[in-house]
Amino acid sequence: MMDNEMTINILAGGPREELPENFWKNSFSEDHWIGADKGAVDLVKHHQSLLFAVGDFDSSSEEEIELVKENVPELITFKPEKDYTDTELSVKLAIDKYHPKKITIYGATGGRIDHLLANIMFVLKPEFRFYADKIKIIDRRNIINFFLPGKYTINKEENFDYLAFIPLEEIKDLNLYDEKYKLNNANYAYPIALASNEFVGDKASFSFKSGLLCVIQSKD
């Protein structure tokens, strides 16, 4: 099945208190979901249909694994000793199976710092990089997008006043045109976090000529 207009949502196993406010109260029935490890268990418990579930399920009980098996059309399991994280496997399989227009990941932040870094930095891997601009990570206080070289204008999300521009690798000619703190053809030879910028209006424009840029809208 290939659907270039499909948006796929992935629920990973991060702390549930970091999920967006009212996450479980929203209606998921019309959305396409993939459960990564414990994310599959929680989605099934909330009666959400899934495209498939994937992971090593090392933190799930036998009863929870059986529950997933009974309610998900496809369960793809891996040994804990593997080359990809459960989140990476979910994204990789989503791309391979469906080639969706957008992938939105929840439950990928909070908890262990190594998990957080892995869930942000995986877009640098060659098998994900080409898809980076179609991947979004959302939690209670942050909306994370990735951009390949080009010129962009993004809309301010309601109540998300802050902006961070984070070159994940060498960036050339980074311009911030209308943010509170502007840049003109800035070059960075290494990853750096340009944090605590702000929207001036309802939009923010930027451009760069090479590299991979992470842009975070956030709120206190």
Give me the CATH topology for the region 1-140: Rossmann fold (3.40.50)
Global confidence as pTM:
0.92
Fold identical between 1-140 and 142-220?
yes
Q: Where are the domains of the chain?
A: 1-140, 142-220
Q: List per-residue pLDDT tens for the chain, 220 residues long.
A: 455 679 999 999 889 999 998 888 765 666 799 999 899 999 999 999 999 999 888 878 888 888 999 999 999 988 777 788 889 999 999 999 999 999 999 999 988 899 899 999 999 999 999 999 999 999 999 999 999 999 999 999 999 999 999 999 999 999 999 999 999 999 999 999 999 999 999 999 999 999 999 999 999 8
Contact at 8 Å (CB) between 53 and 38? Answer: no
Burial of 163 (0-12, 13-18, 19+ CB in 10 A): buried
CATH architecture of 142-220: 3-Layer(aba) Sandwich (3.40)
C-beta of residue 128 within 8 angstroms of C-beta of residue 122? yes
> Are the beta carbons of 52 and 75 closer than 8 angstroms?
yes
